[in-house]
């Protein structure tokens, strides 16, 4: 344990916390739904009202987006969320802390090796439903996933925006939110990041998303930006 000198709710992002450390630095955190358990080697902080887990902006693009000042955090307690590309559950675990036991994450991941780690996380967290499927084929999991308040996508695929829109058509409610991690840099280092993701943004707009905010994730992640949008069916 490193000890915290103060922990308080983030002034802009409800159910996200700021942990102040002895050296004067501060970190983001969420309140641990499963006290005593770590998911990816993160620091745990004991406080008078429970235990908090450091939310590392270098490991989670969503934490990076918050540190970089995303306009607001649309994820709220009790929400149902479809997560495409959940990986081993690093970010999903923090979303699980935020939505609490009344919420639900439908976590789609198609790599079996990664899925094994996600299942370990979901074993402790009843608000994560792991789904071993390919996000390109939402029909295959339509019987498992309910209508959702939000869609979080981090699948690192070329046709990501259209995959996201296909999933939104099937599962996202009217007025629901989208958080999408998109590649902000191509192999061609001379191309402007804006050229690289312009096409994805255009696809989103054409498919009914209103873009609310885009934040670049450097220095936490040099290659990505986070898009926040609202869906109008
Ligand atoms: N979002 C995770 C986090 O923040 O903890 C990291 C996700 S990683 C960057 C991208 C993941 O998407 C990989 O685990 C990969 O296997 C998965 N993925 C890529 N294409 C996919 C697809 N078509 N369907 C489901 N999962 C996919």
Answer yes or no: is the C-beta of 155 below 6 A from any ligand 1 atom: yes
Q: What is the pLDDT of residues 49-97, one digit of tens each?
A: 999 999 999 999 999 999 999 999 999 999 999 999 999 999 999 999 9
**Residue 105 shares a structural domain with residue 39:** no
The reply to whether 40 and 79 lie within a common domain is no
Length of the chain: 233
Pair 213, 141 in one domain: yes
Q: Do 40 and 139 share a structural domain?
A: no
Confidence of residue 185 (pLDDT cuts 50, 70, 90): low
**Res. 15: pLDDT tops 70:** yes
The CATH number linked to 222 is: 3.40.50.150
pLDDT of residue 189: 61
Q: What is the pLDDT, as a whole number, of residue 193?
A: 64
Query: Which pLDDT score, from 0 to 100, does residue 2 have?
Result: 75
Strand order in the sheet with 50-55: 4-9, 17-21, 26-31, 50-55, 44-47
**Ligand 1 centre and the CA of 109: distance in Å?**
6
- Return the residue whose CA atom lies nearest to atom 17 of ligand 1: 85
Q: Tell me what the pLDDT averaged over the chain comes to.
A: 94
Q: Measured from the CA of 92, which atom of ligand 1 is nearest?
A: 5
Together in a domain, 97 and 212: yes
Give the pLDDT score at 98.
98
pLDDT tens digit sequence for 99-112: 999 999 999 999 99
User: Residue 35 sits in which domain range?
Assistant: 4-56
pLDDT digits (tens, 9 = 90+) for 188-232: 666 666 666 788 899 999 999 999 999 999 999 988 999 999 999
- The ipTM value here is 0.98
C-alpha span between 87 and 67 (Å, rounded): 22
Q: What is the CATH number of the domain that holds 39?
A: 3.30.200.20
Write the residue with the smallest CA distance to atom 19 of ligand 1.
155
Q: Are residues 35 and 114 in the same domain?
A: no
% the chain with pLDDT above 70: 94
Let me know whether 72 and 131 are in one domain.
yes
**Is pLDDT at 187 greater than 60 in this prediction?**
no
Closest ligand 1 atom, residue 89 Cα: 5
| CB-count burial class (<10 Å; 0-12, 13-18, 19+) for 190 | exposed
92 and 205 housed in the same domain: yes
- pLDDT at site 218: 92
Atom 14 of ligand 1: nearest residue by CA position? 87
Task: Tell me: pLDDT of 132 over 80.
Answer: yes
Sign of the Cα pseudo-torsion (191, 194, 200, 205, in order):
negative
Q: Enumerate long-range contacts of 189-194, CB under 8 Å, 24 or more apart.
A: 193/225
What is the average pLDDT across 134-140?
98
Cβ neighbourhood burial of 183 (10 Å; 0-12, 13-18, 19+): middle
CB atoms within 10 A of CB 101: 12
At residue 184, does pLDDT exceed 80? Answer: no
């Amino acid at each position: 344990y490193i000890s915290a000198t103060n922990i308080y709710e983030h002034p802009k992002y409800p159910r996200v916390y700021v942990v102040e450390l002895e050296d004067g630095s501060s970190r983001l955190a969420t309140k641990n739904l499963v006290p005593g358990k770590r998911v990816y080697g993160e620091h745990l902080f004991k406080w008078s009202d429970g235990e908090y887990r450091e939310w590392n902006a270098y490991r989670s693009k969503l934490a990076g987006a918050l540190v970089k000042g995303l306009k607001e955090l649309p994820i709220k307690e009790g929400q149902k969320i479809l997560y495409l590309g959940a990986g081993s559950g690093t970010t999903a675990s923090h979303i699980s802390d935020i939505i609490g036991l009344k919420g639900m994450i439908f976590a789609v991941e198609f790599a079996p090796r990664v899925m094994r780690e996600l299942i370990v996380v979901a074993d402790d967290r009843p608000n994560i439903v792991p789904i071993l499927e390919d996000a390109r084929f939402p029909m295959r999991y339509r019987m498992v996933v309910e209508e959702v308040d939000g869609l979080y996508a981090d699948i690192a695929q070329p046709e990501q925006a259209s995959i996201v829109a296909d999933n939104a058509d099937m599962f996202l409610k009217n007025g629901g939110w989208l958080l999408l991690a998109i590649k902000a840099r191509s192999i061609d280092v001379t191309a402007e990041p804006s050229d690289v993701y312009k096409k994805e943004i255009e696809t989103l707009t054409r498919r009914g998303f209103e873009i609310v905010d885009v934040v670049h994730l450097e220095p936490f992640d040099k290659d990505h930006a986070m898009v926040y949008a609202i869906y109008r069916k």
